Amino acid sequence: RRRRRLRSDRWQQREKEESEEEPEEQRRALPKGIALGSGSGFVVDSEGYIITNYHVIQRAYESNQDVIRYDKFWDGIATNTTKRMKKSMLPLGGDTEITKSLENFINGTVTSISGRDSKEVDGGRSELPAQVFVRFGTNGDGDATSQSSSSASYHLCEIIDVVKELDVAVLRISKAPPSLKALRYGTSSDLLVGQSLLAIGNPFGLDRTLSSGLVSALGRSITGVAGNDIKNCIQTDAAINPGNSGGPLLNLSGEVVGVNTMIISTSGSNAGIGFAVPGDSVKESTDIIIDLDKERRSRNTNRKGRGWLGADVATGALEASFRQRLAVSSTMAYDEDGVGAFLTALSDGSPLLEKPDGHEKSIETTSIANGNIRLGDRVVNVGGKPIANGIEFVSEMKRRVEGEQLSLTVQNTDGEKRVEYVTMGRIPL
């Protein structure tokens, strides 16, 4: 019996290893099924994170969500029934063996009734009906230098999360190619009408198609798939056609300034009026999703994740308005290009709220009430490194890990500096 058990374990391990070694022929071809949509996307993180439009993967996402809700419904029935059964067994002494047998019977019965007994994967949940695949490169290693796409490889993706209000979705390649490179973001708020732009995508299935155009207008509002208005969209005359959705809109430095999302046309093809969701909004929303997903994965491997300070930081136009107010109200001399980072809010549980001397918080935040700016403290140095603006502060915080101790040099509106010591917290999930 022991030899049979060892043989069985070795056989299961062998099957697992063989399943993980995905044959090249299978990876190149899409699995059989009904296509629910197609579009474009771009890599934003070398760990395999991709941005696309929500409406590109909408049908797949909704199909999977229906299954997840179905699972939760039946899991709830099983859990509630088991709790009531255990409670009713207490007067009888709560026999452990009987309770366990009844619990297994209830779970098995619910599984059979729900029809999940033949469609389960790891963790007891049903197999998701829809899968998302991406194709790029020619040999599966992320190389996109070849002009031929006939031999390009497909990679299975997981839908990490979506932001319906911006019509964007975050995907992650299950096994990211080692040479994967991410596009950099530019600043969409700095765009000017007449500025040259480039659009890359997969129009009508013609992948890696490049078109050029200009910024036709700024600040447009369009209606997204969630029915809400997406504000500050970029209007461009760069050729955008069906299949371009989710692709990047680039400036001439190759930086992402928008995500192509829709066109206005009577024919359904490009008529010179296309729209892109502003890159600043996309980056702000999707960075949070990616950071949280990385944190979940690091906890699953028992590794220390990225540190958390629990502070909102002013950037872009908001930071510029704070700087102007500081220049008017302050009599001290300071470097115009390096006034530090303005913190606008502290989250519950923020390490900056943990003050041993009894103060409410370590740093006074900058706020706006009834159109009036109330300036607070600024972080001008982190661990001996000068901080010029909010972007630098955010980048510096991303390098810190949970439990790390930091010294923050803080300056108030009178020019007085002090050092605050904090311990980076754990990102709340």
pLDDT value at residue 28: 56
Q: Which residue has the higher pLDDT, 62 or 429?
A: 62
Q: Report in angstroms the alpha-carbon separations of 309 from 61, 137, 291, 377, 391.
A: 32, 39, 13, 16, 15
Nearest to 374 by CA among 363, 389, 388, 364: 364
pLDDT recorded at residue 37? 81
The pLDDT of 67-79, averaged and rounded, is: 77
CA-CA distances (angstroms) from residue 125 to 70, 167, 414?
A: 10, 28, 59
Chain-centre distance of CA 203, in angstroms?
Answer: 25
Residues facing 229 on adjacent strands: 223
Q: Is residue 52 a contact partner of residue 39, using CB atoms and an 8 Å limit? A: yes
Cα separation, 116 vs 74, whole angstroms: 10
Name the pLDDT band for 14 (thresholds 50, 70, 90). Answer: very low
Phi, psi of 351 (to 5 degrees): -60, -25
Q: Please give the residue that has the higher pLDDT: either 76 or 253.
A: 253
Closest-CA residue to 124 (of 137, 144, 107, 147): 107
**In the predicted structure, residue 150 carries a pLDDT above the cut 80:** no
Distance CA 66, CA 169 (A): 18
The tokens of 190 are what?
Answer: 């700095």
| Mean pLDDT of all residues in 288-295 | 89
| Parallel, antiparallel or unpaired: strands 168-173 and 153-163 | antiparallel
How confident is residue 92, by pLDDT bands cut at 50, 70 and 90?
low
| Whether 160 contacts 50, CB under 8 Å | no
The pLDDT mean for the chain works out to: 80
* Residue 360 φ then ψ, to 5°: -65, -40
